Amino acid sequence: MAAAVGLSLEVTDLACRRGGRMVFDHISFAVEGGEFLLLTGPNGSGKTTLLRALARLGRTESGTISWRGADIAWLGHLDGLKGDLTVAENIDVAERLRSGRLPDRARVNEALAAFDLSSLASRAVRTLSAGQRRRAALARVAASLSNAWLLDEPLNALDQTAQGCLRKVLGKHLALGGLAIAATHASIDIAGTRRLELAA
């Protein structure tokens, strides 16, 4: 885990446009290490657009996003897993791509165990169910050495047990000084959760 000292995100007066339409404007907030920000709001309110802008995957219209001391891991609404690779291979290659370093074996095994994937680690991802894939994608984030997690609809396709796993992993990540931001229409309640409601 990277040192969480000084980890923060500050967003000031952010506006994003998508398909010619202003999705949201005048958004300002700040998040620090140990905090969990939940982006909520109805469909089309710009949760994904905001999250992509925070990851610098999307363009912003105006305003500033300033990360400090952050090493970002991204989970989009698509899993980002290759179907012909095994779960373990996917996690391995994703972390090497993300950080340019070899993944930490112990962390990978811990993440696999946390999402109950240890027995599926050597299965090709295309043979897994949607929920198992989502768990594998979450394990990819948990196995990374990142201190800032950006999660788009992390609960998609997860059953009750897996949702519990996610809460536990998120809780641990925050306790170690990490930061997480999730866009979701469902609710994830863990200690230290803050909410940002986007209007339609």
The mark string for 7-46 relative to other proteins (x by CB under 8 A, - otherwise) is ----------------------------------------
Distance of closest approach, residue 95 Cβ to other proteins, in angstroms: 9
Question: Sheet harboring 62-68: ordered strands across?
Answer: 21-32, 8-18, 62-68
Q: Which stretch, 34-42, 88-96, 114-122, 182-190, contacts other proteins (CB under 8 A)?
A: 88-96
CA distance 65 to 54: 7
Distance of closest approach, residue 74 Cβ to other proteins, in angstroms: 5
Q: Which stretch, 19-27, 52-60, 153-161, 179-187, contacts other proteins (CB under 8 A)?
A: 52-60
Nearest by Cα to 144 from 73, 41, 51: 73
CA distance 26 to 63: 8
Nearest by Cα to 85 from 144, 146, 133, 154: 133
Q: Is 85 in the site for other proteins (CB under 8 A)?
A: yes
CA distance 101 to 41: 37
Distance of closest approach, residue 156 Cβ to other proteins, in angstroms: 12
Among 8, 12, 99, 184, binds other proteins (CB under 8 A): 99
Among 2, 15, 93, 145, binds other proteins (CB under 8 A): 93
Q: Is 55 in the site for other proteins (CB under 8 A)?
A: yes
Q: Is 68 in the site for other proteins (CB under 8 A)?
A: no
Distance of closest approach, residue 71 Cβ to other proteins, in angstroms: 9
Q: Is 72 in the site for other proteins (CB under 8 A)?
A: yes
Q: Is 135 in the site for other proteins (CB under 8 A)?
A: no
CA 140 to chain centre: 10
The answer to whether 122 touches 87, Cβ cutoff 8 Å, is: yes
The answer to whether 174 touches 189, Cβ cutoff 8 Å, is: no
User: Which residues, in sequence order, are CB contacts of 153 under 8 Å at separation 6+?
Assistant: 77, 183, 184, 185
Contacts with other proteins, residue ranges (CB under 8 A): 55-59, 72, 74, 76-85, 89, 92-94, 96-102
